[in-house]
């Protein structure tokens, strides 16, 4: 009889477990003092299955560091909440059905002193419907926001550019790129004169860079990513190189182009009006030397001049009176950019003294005075010469003083004229010598 009672009890227990396994829902009322719960009373994980397939798990207290961790789609959660999926529909979705409320996920530290919210803005929000970002609840401000246009704002909730940054840290830094302790480059507001560099003035904005010791010995390069030397490099000593990695002066420009027809290489300065293109070199005591272009009113005329001169690099003041090249004809002038006298169209015009060890003036054969010794040359008589210079105050064929003042001295022509007079004088002397020799011979014969 005792064995039958035990068998009946065991069958009742088995039947109870079968009924529990077949149950699809449960209603547990936890009243005051009640110890009702949903879970396990032993040290096993709580597993949630559907059709015998596991979909979620809560780790038990025996799991050690992962005790109390939830896993969805995984039986080995490594975080307080671990979600794993192989679905192309995404891992998780948070939907706010009320269009007037933010869709948000809040993060709070253990001291409850700082709360951040990852949230999406609803219709009518000041940052724009659909804007998404990290919101600092304590400061009531977005730290980073992406609006519906794709613009990213840092320090602003209304970015109008693809990257819109507003504000700076306590040092004035706006953007800082740091590489293993090496502060490579940062955008900054100087704050005061001499901050970061002696060039800075109060509240200047700038791009600054340094090395590990903040000595700034590293260079800074702005260049396309190509296998060439195209670009700009600022060396640690402040020298600027264009097309060269080792600028030896404050500005070094190297033309690496091998195409001789590539006229765009070098320096080009252009103003919107096309009239004022000057470079000024200013030294102490405010003395100025400018090199540049002085435009006239009509293109390709003699009023368009390039040269060196005084005055600031402003068209109204710039005067290339030291050295200039006329852009219409290539004529070069020194001392006056307007040329001098009737010879202002000369290839080289100098308004002032010239000193040279040697000057060569080319002349044609027909212009040189060798023809004086040719047969048939009509040598004026000395009487003709005397009458001419008495009436004209200069020799035959020699320019007068008035002509010299008006036209200048043509060195080649003047040399040819002087040579002509020397050769004529030589002929006169030879003829005079012949007459003297004849007279001496005649006197000698009379004495004998």
- For residues 278 and 199, state if they share a domain: no
Top mean-pLDDT range of 236-250, 290-304, 379-393? 379-393
| pLDDT given for residue 350 in this prediction | 82
Q: Please check whether residue 426 lies inside any domain of the structure.
A: yes
Q: Is the pLDDT of residue 260 over 70?
A: no
Domain boundary among 297, 326, 355: 355
The whole-number pLDDT of residue 171 equals 58
**159 and 180 part of one domain:** no
At residue 103, the pLDDT reads 93
Cα(91)–Cα(103) distance, integer angstroms: 17
Question: By percentage, how much of the chain surpasses pLDDT 70?
Answer: 71
Q: Which span out of 134-138, 261-265, 322-326 was modeled with the highest average pLDDT?
A: 134-138
Mean pLDDT of 134-143: 91
Q: What is the pLDDT of residues 318-329, one digit of tens each?
A: 666 778 888 778
Instruction: Tell me if 296 is assigned to some domain.
Output: yes
Any domain includes 32: no
User: Quick one: 237 and 312 in the same domain?
Assistant: no
* Least confident span in 133-137, 214-218, 432-436: 214-218
* Region class of 264: left (phi > 0), else alpha (psi between -120 and 50), else beta: alpha
Domain co-membership, 409 together with 429: yes
Report the candidate in 321, 263, 259 with the shortest Cα–Cα distance to residue 290.
321
Q: Is residue 407 part of a domain?
A: yes
Q: Give yes or no for a contact between 321 and 335, defined as CB atoms under 8 angstroms apart.
A: yes
Give the mean pLDDT of the chain: 78
Same domain flag for 155 and 211: no
Check whether residue 285 and residue 338 sit in a common domain. yes
| Per-residue pLDDT at 88 | 87
Assigned domain for 26 exists: no
Residues 232 and 211 in one domain: no
Residue 126 lies in a domain: yes
Whether residue 287 has pLDDT greater than 50: yes
**Distance separating alpha carbons of residues 98 and 341, to the nearest angstrom:** 91
Do residues 187 and 154 both lie within one domain?
A: no
Residue 122 belongs to domain spanning: 103-165
Residues 370 and 443 in one domain: yes
**Comparing 96-100, 202-206, 210-214, 398-402, which segment has the lowest mean pLDDT?**
210-214
pLDDT at 12 over 80: no
Whether residue 11 lies inside any domain: the answer is: no
- One domain for residues 284 and 348: yes
Kindly report which listed range (71-80, 93-102, 207-216) carries the lowest average pLDDT score: 207-216
Q: Is residue 93 part of a domain?
A: no
Range in 14-23, 184-193, 194-203, 428-437 with the lowest mean pLDDT? 14-23
Looking at the structure of the chain, the number of domains it has is 6
Same domain, 76 and 151: no
For the entire predicted model, the pTM comes to: 0.49
Average pLDDT over residues 176-201: 72
- DSSP annotation string for 39-80: S-SSSSPEEEEETTEEEEEE--GGGGGGTT-EEES-SS--SS
Which is more confidently placed, 24 or 43? 43
Please tell me whether residues 247 and 190 are part of one structural domain: no
pLDDT, mean of residues 82-108: 89
């Amino acid at each position: 009889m005792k064995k039958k009672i035990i068998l009946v009890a065991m069958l009742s227990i088995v039947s109870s477990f079968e009924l529990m396994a077949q149950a699809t829902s449960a209603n547990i009322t936890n009243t005051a003092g009640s110890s009702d719960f949903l879970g396990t009373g032993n040290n096993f994980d709580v597993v949630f299955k559907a059709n015998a397939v596991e979909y979620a798990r809560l780790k038990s207290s025996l799991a050690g560091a992962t005790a109390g961790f939830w896993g969805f789609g995984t039986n080995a959660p490594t975080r307080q909440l671990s979600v794993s999926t192989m679905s192309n529909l995404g891992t998780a979705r948070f939907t706010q059905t009320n269009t007037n409320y933010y869709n948000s996920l809040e993060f709070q530290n253990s001291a409850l002193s700082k709360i951040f919210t990852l949230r999406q803005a609803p219709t009518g929000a000041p940052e724009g419907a659909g804007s998404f970002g990290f919101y600092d609840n304590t400061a009531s401000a977005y730290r980073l926001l992406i609006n519906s246009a794709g613009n990213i704002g840092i320090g602003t909730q209304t970015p109008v550019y693809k990257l819109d940054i507003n504000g700076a840290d306590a040092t004035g830094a706006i953007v800082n790129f740091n590489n293993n302790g090496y502060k490579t480059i940062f955008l900054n507001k100087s704050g005061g004169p001499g901050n970061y560099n002696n060039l800075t003035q109060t509240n200047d904005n700038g791009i600054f860079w340094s090395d590990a010791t903040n000595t700034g010995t590293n260079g800074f390069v702005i260049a396309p990513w190509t296998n060439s030397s195209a670009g700009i490099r600022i060396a640690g000593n402040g020298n600027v190189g264009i097309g060269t990695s080792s600028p030896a002066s404050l500005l070094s420009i190297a033309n690496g182009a091998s195409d001789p027809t590539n006229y765009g290489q070098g320096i080009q300065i252009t103003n919107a009006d096309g009239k004022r293109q000057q470079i000024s070199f200013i030294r102490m005591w405010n003395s100025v030397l400018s090199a540049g272009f002085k435009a006239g009113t009509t293109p390709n005329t003699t009023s368009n001049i390039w040269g060196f001169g005084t005055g600031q690099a402003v068209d109204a003041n710039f005067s290339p009176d030291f050295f200039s090249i006329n852009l219409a004809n290539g004529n070069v002038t020194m001392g006056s950019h307007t040329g001098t006298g009737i010879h202002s169209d000369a290839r080289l015009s100098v308004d002032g003294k010239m000193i040279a060890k040697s000057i060569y003036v080319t002349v044609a054969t027909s212009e040189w005075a060798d023809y004086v010794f040719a047969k048939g040359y009509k040598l004026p008589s000395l009487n003709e010469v005397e009458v001419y210079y008495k009436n004209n105050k200069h020799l035959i064929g020699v320019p007068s003083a008035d002509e010299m003042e008006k036209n200048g001295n043509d060195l080649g022509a003047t040399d040819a004229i002087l040579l002509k007079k020397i050769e004529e004088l030589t002929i006169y002397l030879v003829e005079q010598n012949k007459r003297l020799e004849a007279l001496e011979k005649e006197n000698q014969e009379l004495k004998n």
